[in-house]
Structure 1
Amino acid sequence: MTNSPATAHMTLDDVAVLIPAYNGQADVDLTLASFSESAPVHVLIVDDGSTPPIVAPAIANMTIEVLRMARNGGIERALQTGIDVLAQRGFRYAARIDAGDRSVPQRLAKQRLFMELHPRVAGLGMWTQVVTREGKPLFMLTPPAEPDAIRRLRFFRSCLAHPSMMLRIDAVRAVGNYRAEYRSAEDIDLFVRLMQRYDCANLPELGLYYELNEGGISATKRRRQVSSTLRLQLRYFNVANPYDWLGLAKNLLHLVTPYRALQRIKRSLLTSRASH
């Protein structure tokens, strides 16, 4: 891949990749090996009580720190702790990714450049290719790029792919950091609070390969996730926004529809859209 002049010489000294991990050493290794940047990459792995503990792999051009939590406390607590530690270390940006997902080359440089040029943007995502555990493409997530569209559609569709996000650390802490009040929907909770004071946007290009893991939060904790999302929708509901009404109806439907049926419907719709 040819680097643009803007990203080829960009430093990433104030950026850290933030990965919460609970077991899954092989997934951590796969994810970290996927990064390809012109500048050295800093990584903070928050080991959320793994047994055996996560070990930092040796990867060229990458400095990796493992922060071990005393016991498993959930992704919300792991992310909150990670943000606070990165702030203490002097980092300005946290680039999220989850174990098992893979980064597109130069993702960090592109996101950092955009955020340097757009200081009102506190969270920046990218388009995401959803794949199976074997790497087979399933469907592409191409959410809107503009902050106003993301605000309008925030509860109707997934506008910000959490593992693709680069976050401005001071802004995350200013709005209260990650929190456990809305379990399994900690990302939406954070994004809604960020958008009350700042902007969130997307770079309209591929930045992440997201592994659809049937054992992940979306499957095993789905009811809790949907319930938390519904509570968020009611708390921030805007009666003048038709997409808030549509989002409410959509999540009520999700609450009563089996997970596998929803996945089949989503894949069918997205495949049909891609073919046109």
Structure 2
Amino acid sequence: MNALDDVAILIPAFNGQADLERTLRSFSEPSMVRVLIVDDGSTPPIVAPSIDGMDIAILRMPQNGGIEPALQAGIDALARRGVRYAARIDSGDLATPHRLAKQRAYLDTHPNVAVLGMWTHVVSTSGAPLFDLTPPTDPAAIRRAMLLRSCFAHPSLMLRVDAVVAAGNYRADYRAAEDLDLVLRLMARHDGANLPEFGLYYELNETGISATKRRTQVMSTLRLQWRYLRAGNPLDWIGIVKNCAHLLLPYRALRGLKAKLLKRSASARTHPH
């Protein structure tokens, strides 16, 4: 495995010291890992934990301003420090062994790829398995479906820092959809890909952005879909229709339907007729 001296984990945090530490302790890598915690106005302030194999720094925001400015400040700080790759994860999520080394190795051999995700196990806050996210892996397939579905699990991403800065960094123009906004801008100049293996346990939390800011997220996503719409691509239109349905159906109903469909799809792949 390659050394990870040009990689840094970028994790924003607002309170939740215990969840933050649990997330960072989940990483198991072959060499020292750098970490930048962006403390978004926590009370009390986040304390850098002492974890073997990690060099942890904290960037403190002057006040709680939300994930978008926190991530923007984090990328700017990593760029100033000469970090080449930023690995995203959020407090409460868990990494699989050697996730960072695998992603870095791929990016080193695919210089046209600026955003690289991995497949994701979605679990409850107690750790119980709910469903799996296995989006397309090939850049061409991702490009075709990028407005139909979420082709990346944001906390699984590894990003080229220089490409993110050149694309305009994270921004607050599309609240609660800052990840899709960034990915679409990156893919205007670069490719995106997913490794076809699981790299993340994503905690589905009723207090997370997808639940508490759902309407804001859906409206931001719709604005992005219209902005990047390719009139000749039927998948783009289906994505818009699907997102409109999200405005009408309750969050829990949608979550339950998604879980059933994904489980059925996984069963069909495992037990083909």
Structure-1-length-normalised TM-score? 0.96
**In the alignment, what sits opposite 1:252?**
244
Equivalents in 2 of 1:125, 1:92: separation in Å? 16
**In the alignment, what sits opposite 2:258?**
266
Q: Deviations over 1:187-222 (max 9, x none)?
A: 000000000000010000010000000100000000
Q: 5+ unaligned residues in a row in structure 2: which ranges?
A: 269-273
Specify the SS of the correspondent of 1:197: coil
Match of 1:179 among 140, 159, 171: 171
Q: Deviations over 1:110-130 (max 9, x none)?
A: 000000000000000000000
Match of 2:141 among 149, 155, 158: 149
Say whether 1:26 aligns with 2:26: no
Say whether 1:222 aligns with 2:214: yes
Say whether 1:161 aligns with 2:153: yes
Equivalents in 2 of 1:67, 1:176: separation in Å? 20
Say whether 1:170 aligns with 2:151: no
* Counterpart amino acid of residue 256 in structure 2: R
Equivalents in 2 of 1:120, 1:255: separation in Å? 36
Match of 1:129 among 109, 121, 133: 121
* Counterpart amino acid of residue 55 in structure 2: T
Equivalents in 2 of 1:151, 1:178: separation in Å? 20
**In the alignment, what sits opposite 1:69?**
61
Say whether 1:37 aligns with 2:29: yes
Equivalents in 1 of 2:150, 2:83: separation in Å? 28
**In the alignment, what sits opposite 1:87?**
79
Match of 1:56 among 48, 57, 68: 48
Instruction: Return the offset for 1:12.
Output: 0.3
Equivalents in 1 of 2:9, 2:205: separation in Å? 21
Q: Deviations over 1:70-98 (max 9, x none)?
A: 10111000000000000001100000000
Q: Deviations over 1:141-182 (max 9, x none)?
A: 001111111111111111011000000000001110000000
* Counterpart amino acid of residue 42 in structure 1: R
**In the alignment, what sits opposite 2:108?**
116
RMSD: 0.6
Equivalents in 1 of 2:223, 2:78: separation in Å? 30
Specify the SS of the correspondent of 2:116: strand
Identity of aligned residues (%): 66
| Stretches of 4+ aligned residues off by more than 6 angstroms | none
Aligned residues between the structures: 268
Equivalents in 2 of 1:267, 1:140: separation in Å? 8
Instruction: Return the offset for 1:274.
Output: 1.7
Specify the SS of the correspondent of 2:187: helix
**In the alignment, what sits opposite 2:95?**
103
**In the alignment, what sits opposite 2:196?**
204
Structure-2-length-normalised TM-score? 0.97
Instruction: Return the offset for 1:271.
Output: 1.3
Equivalents in 2 of 1:223, 1:52: separation in Å? 30
Specify the SS of the correspondent of 1:44: strand
